[in-house]
Each structure stands twice: as structure tokens, then as C-alpha cells.
Chains A and B, each alone.
Chain A
Amino acid sequence: GENVEQHPSTLSVQEGDSAVIKCTYSDSASNYFPWYKQELGKRPQLIIDIRSNVGEKKDQRIAVTLNKTAKHFSLHITETQPEDSAVYFCAASELTGGGNKLTFGTGTQLKVEL
């Protein structure tokens, strides 16, 4: 089955700096890569996703890049703000007609310091 590794497990940045979180996956059949943000005590919230036919996707201060050859993808957050502090999870799956069985990384605790 799929295995997703995520690094770093904790990340501390100064407000206004950029943050980068990296994930690797093992199954070359995976073609869907979402990122979730989870605040303490809350549900995971989908913030951005990318499919394997696209190398990069941006949404305001957030961007995701995908390298299919190396089987890794990354989340980039620019101009970080205190409200970006949360746990971020990457995930991977192979989209089929039978649903979307996500395999998650173990999470990155991002702390944005004033």
C-alpha cells in the first residue's frame, strides 16, 4: 500500500517568513495530493490540492509543488501570519471510481512567532 512521509514534524518561523513542508510518497499510481490544516480541537480543513497532471498550483499565499519523478510534493506558505499556526497534513491517493482512499502523513506543527 501507499506510504507517505512528512517532514519536518515541527516548524517554527517568524511572522512574514516563508514556511515549507515536504512529503514523499511510495506508490507511483498515486495521482491526487491534498493538504489539510488542522487547528487545535478542530476538524482537518482542505486548503489546497494538486493532481499529477499539474506541477504547481497556487492560491494566494499558499502553493503546492509536485515532482512525480522523485515522488515528492511540498507545501509553501509565504508571508506567514499568526493564524497560519496549526498542524498541516499531506496526503496521497490514487483516484479511482471506487472512491478516494487517502493515506496521510504524520503532520507538521507549524508555529508562527510574532
Chain B
Amino acid sequence: DAGITQSPRHKVTETGTPVTLRCHQTENHRYMYWYRQDPGHGLRLIHYSYGVKDTDKGEVSDGYSVSRSKTEDFLLTLESATSSQTSVYFCAISAPAGYEQYFGPGTRLTVT
């Protein structure tokens, strides 16, 4: 597996609380992505980053924000968690050459 870690791996939180998920890579890749995975929907892109401080929205960005202050870290924040954000969140990385994406181990988030 590519050098990607996610933290925490599991989290239970209450509706209305802020939550931050972290993705850390040791590959020095330029591109990083956040996806959510829900039954019946496959994986859907939330936000992505094409460099330090350079981010853009994906297909399902409402209710989420991201930040990337260092090449190796990409943070996903739920400003005020809702039950609809209960999901498994995957981070992915890719280098420009080839464009293959490699996924982290995932974070299971439950919002009660």
C-alpha cells in the first residue's frame, strides 16, 4: 500500500459538533482527494487538492471544508456534523504521471 494514513480510523460524534479528519502521505504526491462511500452510491468526490493551499470542490462538497498547509497533510472538516454525513471517508493520492489514485485505509464516521 502507498504511504497513506488516515486518522482517526473510527469516530462517533454528536449532531452539531465539528469534526476534522486527517490524511497523511509520505509519497510527496501533488494531488490529494477526499471521497465518501455509502451503500448504493459507490465513492463520491468531496474535495480535492492540486497543491499546497490549492483546493477545489467535488461532487458532494456541501457541509465540508478542506485545508492543505503542507504537501503531506490534507484535512477534511465537517463544521457542524449531521446524521447524513455518517459514512466511510477515504483519502486518496495521485502523482501527475500516470494519474493512478491510491486510497488510504478509510475513516468510519458515525454521527448520532
Spell out A's residues near B (CB within 8 Å): 1, 6, 32, 34, 36, 42-46, 49, 89, 91, 93, 95, 97-107
Contacts and interface: CB of A to CB of B under 8 A. Distances in A.
B52 to A, nearest CB: 14
Contact of B101 (A6, A102, A103, A106): A102
A107 B31 contact: no
Contact of A43 (B48, B56, B90, B99): B90
A1 B59 contact: yes
A30 to B, nearest CB: 12
Interface residues of B, number: 25
Interface in B44-65: 44-45, 48, 50, 56, 58-59
Residue among A42, A102, A106 facing the most chain B CB atoms (10 A cut-off): A102
Interface stretch (B20-28, B68-76, B77-85, B102-110): B102-110
A93 B40 CA distance: 20
Contact of A106 (B41, B50, B90, B94): B41
Given A32-B99, A34-B101, A102-B101, 20 more contacts: A34-B100, A36-B103, A42-B105, A43-B90, A44-B43, A45-B103, A89-B43, A97-B96, A98-B50, A99-B33, A99-B48, A99-B94, A100-B99, A100-B101, A102-B43, A102-B45, A104-B44, A105-B42, A106-B42, A107-B42
A42 B37 CA distance: 12
Nearest to A6: B42
